[in-house]
Structure 1
Amino acid sequence: MTLHDASMSNSLGGISGRSVDVVDRLDGLDSITLRGIFARGIHGVLESEHHAPQDFSVDLTLWFDSRRAASSDDVAHTVDYSVVAEKIVAVIEGKSASLIERLATHIAMSVLEDSLIAAVQVTLHKPHACMDVQFEDVAISILRTREDFAAHLADFPANLTLRPEQARPAVLALGANLGNPLGTLREVVAALQSAPEFERVEVSPLARTRPVLQPGAAPQPDYYNAVVRVWSRLSAAELLDLAHHLEDTHGRERPYHWAARTLDVDVIDVEGVTSEDSRLVLPHPRAATRAFVLVPWSRLDPHATLEGRSVSKLAAWAQDANGIVNLWTDWLATDPEPEQTAPNLPSVPVSPAAPDDSPLAETQVGDYDAFGLPSWQAALPQAEARPRVVDNDTEIDIIRQDYSPSAGDSPSSSSQSELPAPQWQRVRTRRH
């Protein structure tokens, strides 16, 4: 079905002032339509809408070129509409928005993360909106294209796109609990070490940690977490671009907030940069409470600070401290021995008043796995319901960044122009 089909013309006809231009630019493309994607979330202006989720549904039409998929009969050459549907649900169940205009835009930008999609029309229904008159539905329809997506990505504050004159350190947190986590994290570190943009790369010990779950969430495998400190002249936005590229390269999917993942790469801190932008909050807003970040980081640099506070002390008092199963210092070079028992963790520098249940306490759990470490099933509550997560805090955005700053994005200087925009396709990809 092409844009000249009657159904498609009717679909675009309601987008005043843009339909002719969009039809011209998307002429000859095909479309997929999804209707009635349902999810519940907390969105609205009124105070009464802030305390309980309400119903939303989405109708979606997306345009792409299906000819290659039709020829190959290979799902890799087409748009996976099941992933699209999961993204829509994740947005609705995720961070709250006051206006349906904003929520619909978040949905459109999430869908356009797939570079195969040329444009998307989103119709967002809010059937239980708070009004004093009888009605059937409230809905908004928006049309967004790849140009809108590029503008969205490029609209960063100047301090996030500015490159320093000299290399500066930045802290990245790595985590994985699906597939082959150890192999994935080793490949990521190798990719960082091989990227010419980085002058220096330091790697922490590897921590095996219990997953942090919402109440009632289904169990997940244990995570493997590490912290990497890199020195470069890249902007903070480019580091975020790299983080998302690495996640995508290793098959990261985002069906819902805090889902298990093949790879998670967070930008934790960039020296000299603070940001409240919703796509990249710096320093990371929750890093100061996460032992799976703080403990490896404190081993990498016992004198590290986060917003003026000792990372080692923050690690000792983090609420998820008991979730650290063990630390593995030489994880890049050696494999664990299947029959060995879980070793005791080395001590972290803490104050004399530190509690006994610090992140260094030995976990006493039966049922050991093939690595000789306590089985993750033994430590997790059993539940079948998938969690609904409403995050009203500012979150690091999950949209993939295809952004390369132009000369007008930052003050001109010869030192900034010397370093070309990074092309992350040069980073080594996953081996099969």
Structure 2
Amino acid sequence: MTLRHAPGPDSPRDALGRSVDVVDRLDGLDSITLRGIFARGIHGVLESEHHAPQDFSVDLTLWFDSRRAASSDDVAHTVDYSVVAEKIVAVIEGKSASLIERLATHIALSVLEDSRIAAVQVTLHKPHACMDVQFEDVAIRILRTRADFAAHLADYPANLTLRPEQARPAVLALGANLGNPLGTLREVVAALQSAPEFERVEVSPLARTRPVLQPGAAPQPDYYNAVVQVWSRLSAVELLNLAHHLEDTHGRERPYRWAARTLDVDVIDVEGVTSDDSRLALPHPRASARAFVLVPWSRLDPHATLEGRSVSQLAAWAQDANGIVNLWTDWLVTDPETKPEQNAPNLPSAPNLPDAPEGSPLGEPEDRDRDGFGLPSWQAALPGADARPRVVDNDTEIDIIRQDSTPSAANSLSFAQPTVPAPQWKRVGKRRH
């Protein structure tokens, strides 16, 4: 079958005014084809299709530039087709769709989360469709491009784009294990503190945690994690865009699942906002089980709740709590590596959890090159709709956001009124670690 998109009013045109075919725009790119990816899921219009999974299979071709990978022979520089296959299976086994058109589109958009992929063709087979005639197969074939993905990202539900009338709290989780994690996290805190959009910023103790890895995965350095609570009138999507911007300026890449990273900035919860959108699920569906989020958060605010449950209790119950190695309360002004570490204690159930320790106001970040940052106001530096997208959410990487009531000054690390001049940010290129 020859791939053709019906030309639209905004389609590119040649010198004679003729529409340029999508495939013509893929000239010079390479392609990878996967065939017969099998999974079972519950999808269909009929009531009889809603009670048990049925078979689906997918053939897929994706277009990208493979020259860098060919030169380096490094999997990090190419599209990992094992990750692509896992995404396809996750979509089929995930949320139900009535129509195969919708299911195929979900698969295509999931694959296009990798910004290196220029276009993808998905052929979705439903060999056991419910029909009263004998047949061999039912299949749909679609082609989606980066433009389709950009349009998808721009089409958020109204509650995610609405700005509140008054400042509300949200919780961001920070994490890093490549480059200079401590310096990176300090820079991010300083950026949030100096951004005029935030009325108040509070920071948790810093946790050093063991990485969560797939079975058999190569070892990684320990992570440094913290939780930041911010008050603003920004929409949930604006907070997400901020997280992406900070990650991009620090050279964040996603070469494969559970990869080490220079920076994670994730949204776990935004007060008053719920969402099951795959790009921004609120509250985050896995935050309640992640000790590297819950433990710092419970130290920042012992009375915080997540979906009606005590964060302190959730921290005590988290199965990966033994992965919290150390906690430092004054990490913004003191280098943790130059002082004795505070071993992470066992966490009793709330309300017996001790009050969060007092902290010091944020001092001047360590004197180091800031050439990866670019704000005066982060919003002015945000990429446009056609900028490089990223994976927003998957089953292996926690994206973080949260809400809270105003804690007292006695038991929080409050940076609403900084005691040092705000850094002078400049717009420059990314820093690569």
Residue 42 of structure 1 is matched in structure 2 by: 39
| 2:342 corresponds to | 343
C-alpha contact 2:26 2:63 (8 A) present in aligned 1: no
For 1:18-417, what aligned pairs fall within 5 Å after superposition?
A: 21=11, 24=19, 29-31=25-27, 32-37=29-34, 42-45=39-42, 56-61=58-63, 82-83=78-79, 85=81, 88-95=84-91, 96-97=93-94, 101-102=101-102, 104-110=104-110, 112=112, 120-124=119-123, 129=127, 140-337=140-337, 342-345=341-344, 350=349
Q: Secondary structure at the match of 2:246?
A: helix
Distance (Å, rounded) in 1 between the aligned partners of 2:335 and 2:286 = 31
Deviates more, 1:107-116 or 1:227-236: 107-116
AA matched with 1:155: D
**Contact 1:207 1:324 (8 Å CA) reproduced:** yes
Q: Distance in 2 between matches of 1:114 and 1:352?
A: 43
Take 1:195 and 1:392, find their aligned partners in 2: how far apart are those partners?
Answer: 29
Count of matched residue positions in the alignment of Structure 1 and Structure 2: 345
Unaligned runs of 5+ residues in structure 1 are: 1-9, 355-390, 399-423
Q: Structure 1 pair 266/116, CA: closer, same or farther in 2 (3 Å)?
A: closer
User: Quick check: 2:104–2:124 contact (8 Å CA) kept in 1?
Assistant: no
| 1:401-422 Cα distance to aligned partner (Å, 9 max, x none) | xxxxxxxxxxxxxxxxxxxxxx
Contact between 1:123 and 1:139, CA under 8 Å: does it hold in 2? Answer: no
TM-score norm. by structure 1 comes to 0.64
Residue 16 (structure 1) shift? 5.5
Residue 87 of structure 2 aligns with an amino acid whose one-letter code is V
Shift of residue 36, structure 1, vs aligned partner: 2.0
Deviation at 1:216, TM superposition (A): 4.8
Amino acid across the alignment from 2:274: T
Gaps of 5+ in 2: 14-18, 43-48, 354-392, 401-424
Aligned amino acid, residue 335 of structure 1: D
Quote the Cα distance in structure 2 between the aligned partners of 1:221 and 1:256: 16
Q: Deviations over 1:25-70 (max 9, x none)?
A: 56884531313246956354477757xx9875421236x9x9xx99
Q: How far off is 1:326 after superposition?
A: 0.8
> Are the structure 2 counterparts of residues 393 and 146 from structure 1 closer, same or farther at C-alpha, using a change threshold of 3 Å?
closer
| SS in structure 2 of the partner of residue 12 of structure 1 | coil
When residues 169 and 20 of structure 1 are mapped into structure 2, their CA distance, relative to the original with a 3 A threshold, is closer
Structure 1 position 319, deviation (Å): 1.3
Deviations 1:218-263 (A, max 9, x none): 4433221110101111001111122222223333333444333332
Helix, strand or coil at the partner of 1:273:
coil
Whether 2:11 is the aligned partner of 1:12: answer no
Q: Distance in 2 between matches of 1:322 and 1:85?
A: 34
Contact 1:87 1:256 in 2 (8 A): yes
Q: Counterpart of 2:337 in 1: which secondary structure?
A: coil
Q: Secondary structure at the match of 1:59?
A: strand
Letter in 2 for 1:248: D
Native 8 Å contact 1:281 1:395 kept in 2: no
SS in 1 for 2:281: strand
User: What TM-score do you get using the length of structure 2 for normalisation?
Assistant: 0.64
- CA distance, structure 1, for counterparts of residue 398 and residue 344 of structure 2: 31
Asked if the contact 2:41–2:56 (Cα under 8 Å) also holds between the matched residues in 1, the reply is no
In structure 2, the CA distance between the partners of 1:353 and 1:270, relative to structure 1 (3 Å rule), is closer
Deviation at 1:123, TM superposition (A): 3.4
3-state DSSP class of the match of 2:241? helix
Decide whether the 8 Å contact of 2:80 with 2:256 is kept in 1: no
Match of 1:189, SS state, is helix
Distance verdict in 2 for CA 1:120–1:83, change over 3 Å: same
**Kept in 1: contact 2:174–2:225 (CA 8 A):** yes
Question: SS in structure 2 opposite 1:42?
Answer: strand
Query: 1:84·1:111 contact (CA, 8 Å) conserved in 2?
Result: no
8 Å contact from structure 1 (residues 176, 262) kept in 2: yes
The letter for the 2-side match of 1:234 is L
Give the AA of the match of 1:313. Q
Task: Provide the rounded CA distance (Å) in 1 between the counterparts of 2:61 and 2:9.
Answer: 18
Contact 1:192/1:427 (8 A) holds in 2: no
Q: Distance in 1 between matches of 2:167 and 2:352?
A: 38
- Does the CA contact (< 8 Å) of 1:305 and 1:311 recur in 2? yes
Separation in 1 of the partners of 2:203 and 2:214? 29
Note the aligned Cα RMSD (angstroms): 4.5
Partners of 1:262 and 1:124 in 2: how far apart?
A: 36
**Secondary structure at 2:343 match in 1:** coil
Q: Is the 8 A contact 1:273 1:282 kept in 2?
A: yes
**1:73-98 residue CA offsets vs partner (Å, 9 max, x unmatched):** x99xxxx9713757634522544355
How far apart are 1:292 and its partner, in Å? Answer: 0.8
The amino acid across from 1:82 in the alignment is T
Using a 3 Å threshold, how does the CA distance of structure 1 residues 54 and 108 change in structure 2: closer, same or farther? closer
